Amino acid sequence: MRKKVFHFGKKVLTHELISGSFYLFIAVILSGFFAFLLNLFFARSLTKPDYGIYASLLSLITLLTIPASSLTPIVVRFAGDYYAKGEEAKLKKFYIKMTKFIVFLAIGIFFIFLIVSPLIKNFLKLDNFLYIPLVGFITATSYLTIVNNGFLQGLLKFPFVAFTQISGAIFRILAGVVLIFLGFKVFGAVWASFFSFLLVFILGFIPLRFLFKKSNDIGVKVPVRELMNYAVPATIAIFCLSSFISTDVILVKHFFNPVQAGLYGGMSLIGKVIFYFTAPIPTVMFPLLIKRHAKNQSYSRLFYLSLLLVIIPSFLISGFYFLLPAFTTKFFLGKGYEAIIPFVGIFGAYIGVFSLLNVCVNLFLSLKKTFVYVPVLIGSILQVGLIYLFHSNFYQVIFVSMSISGLLFLGLLSYFIFGTKGFTSLENKVYS
């Protein structure tokens, strides 16, 4: 009996979905911890005005790197497919094409920043014009990591992905501390992010060096039309999905007073712990599904296992929020946020539902079912419209977001299980 339990436990722990998610989870936890330590150091080393400038610039960088999350799955989708089929020549061609595209995109981002620098400087009330071109340069550099990171995920190099993320976080701490001690102040704090992105970019070449070996790839073409047919709707789907957990915060900031907006922002931070805790699972599931689909292998169990691995922690954490909302609020936010205690549990449940929706959308995109962008786009528009109409209190805002996420999740799950001719015909009309 003990042997059976041992072998079962070993089989579970070595499952590629669980092991891959574990590596990314460790990377997320450690990177977040290192970022917390560095921000604590900056807060104590910089003056309050300087730290305010740094915080606003960091938020700007974070906001502008969100579109990168829409591009990465596209790289993973095609790189994983070519790798699973052993089409190394296509893999190399695709790498070159995507690298060229990202380089041009990064250059474009930098020049846009140069043009709009005066507007951003005035909006953020900055005392130095050079902050904005620097942010543009760092944002452009961060986009260069998209191709290497996407290829590493597509090739299932999750331990190395985790290694690069942790290495980048550690290097950021070292660079930040050294530059602050050298007297570079805000510039030193911001430059630390650049060195972190640069290290991640350089390290990414190590497992991908086989792509730079000479090979006979004459006449090999990457299907650009197929790439665009996937890229456009996939980008819309991921962007609209991401908007679900950011649009509510923005609309609350618009409709409620500053104090209430701050309270909702704190509640959102607590709820998103569930999303960040479970996010590695669909990230790992995505290339694994591509691999199995490319080899005509069964993938249903992998999908259901992914759902289960998201449901369990989501249920446990949100349940903890319901049982101990006061302790949860004080633990994460400290004093002054007692007004959100009644809402913490229900908001955690909403993020749990959203996390399940995230798994479903990633499933469809991994199988090239890009028509999924249609219901996700409609859902994101409905969220904005309904919150615009119903925002008397936090309950209404949360209920709107949870209802739409829940209906989308149930609809996509039902389609996967039972299938419908309506969706199939829609897909054929849009992408024929």
Per residue in 134-190, pLDDT (tens digit) is 888 888 888 888 889 889 988 888 889 889 989 998 999 999 999 999 988 888 888
Q: Do both 252 and 211 map to the same domain? A: no
Last residue of a domain, one of 168, 198, 222: 222
227 pLDDT higher than 90: no
Which band of pLDDT confidence, cut at 50, 70 and 90, is reported for residue 94? Answer: confident
pLDDT digits (tens, 9 = 90+) for 136-151: 888 888 888 888 988 9
Residue partners of 174: CB distance under 8 A and separation at least 6 = none
pLDDT digits (tens, 9 = 90+) for 291-301: 787 778 788 88
Last residue of a domain, one of 222, 249, 268: 222
420 pLDDT higher than 50: no
Q: Do both 256 and 366 map to the same domain? A: yes
Cβ atoms of 330 and 251 closer than 8 Å:
no
SS3 content of the chain, % helix, strand, coil (to 5): 85, 0, 15
- Rounded Cα–Cα distance for residues 243 and 382 (Å): 12
- Rounded Cα–Cα distance for residues 110 and 376 (Å): 31
Phi, psi of 67 (to 5 degrees): -55, -20
- Rounded Cα–Cα distance for residues 100 and 106 (Å): 10
pLDDT given for residue 38 in this prediction = 81
Around 215, how many Cα atoms within 13 Å sit in the side-chain half-sphere? 15
pTM of the model: 0.73
Last residue of a domain, one of 193, 222, 251: 222
pLDDT given for residue 69 in this prediction = 67
Q: Do both 301 and 393 map to the same domain? A: yes
Range of the structural domain that residue 277 is part of? 226-431
Q: Do both 136 and 266 map to the same domain? A: no
What's the domain count of the chain? 2
pLDDT given for residue 166 in this prediction = 92
421 pLDDT higher than 80: no
7 pLDDT higher than 60: no
- Rounded Cα–Cα distance for residues 120 and 140 (Å): 17
Q: Do both 348 and 426 map to the same domain? A: yes
Q: Do both 210 and 247 map to the same domain? A: no
Q: Do both 216 and 312 map to the same domain? A: no
pLDDT given for residue 432 in this prediction = 36
Which residue type, as a one-letter code, is found at position 80?
G
Q: Is 403 exposed, middle or buried (0-12, 13-18, 19+ CB in 10 A)?
A: middle
Q: Do both 320 and 213 map to the same domain? A: no
Q: Do both 270 and 385 map to the same domain? A: yes
Q: Do both 148 and 284 map to the same domain? A: no
Q: Do both 341 and 419 map to the same domain? A: yes
Which band of pLDDT confidence, cut at 50, 70 and 90, is reported for residue 11? Answer: low
Q: Do both 196 and 324 map to the same domain? A: no
pLDDT digits (tens, 9 = 90+) for 272-289: 888 888 888 888 888 888
376 pLDDT higher than 50: yes
- Rounded Cα–Cα distance for residues 418 and 194 (Å): 48
